[in-house]
Amino acid sequence: MNSRWYVGIANDAEKRLFTDHCVDKDNGLWAWGLATNHLEARHIEALYHKAGCKGGPGGGDETTVFVYAYLITQSTAE
């Protein structure tokens, strides 16, 4: 992973990916997974950001337990 990828956390990964970031569900490169809790999700997000992925720290609340990633393209919104 590098700066061509965006990594974030959410309480609704599908909405963040496909509605908010405009990722193409059928043809885009994306993934999401469920963390144990919001602290683990934030830790995972921070590790990917440290490795060079784009995204902003923080946000969300204790329901923010999904980590998502997508390949940034001309049609996606950061």
Domain that holds residue 33: 5-71
Total number of domains constituting the chain: 1
pTM above 0.85, yes or no: yes
- Establish if 56 belongs to a structural domain: yes
- Establish if 77 belongs to a structural domain: no
Summarize pLDDT for 1-51 with one digit per residue, the tens. Answer: 579 999 999 999 999 999 999 999 999 999 999 999 999 999 999 999 999
pLDDT at residue 60, as a whole number: 86
pLDDT at residue 77, as a whole number: 87
Torsion of CA 46, 78, 72, 42, to 10 degrees: 20
Question: What kind and span of H or E run contains 71?
Answer: strand 66-71
pLDDT at residue 57, as a whole number: 77
- Establish if 76 belongs to a structural domain: no
- Establish if 78 belongs to a structural domain: no
pLDDT at residue 1, as a whole number: 54
Residue 12: exposed, middle, or buried by beta-carbon count in 10 A (0-12, 13-18, 19+)? Answer: middle
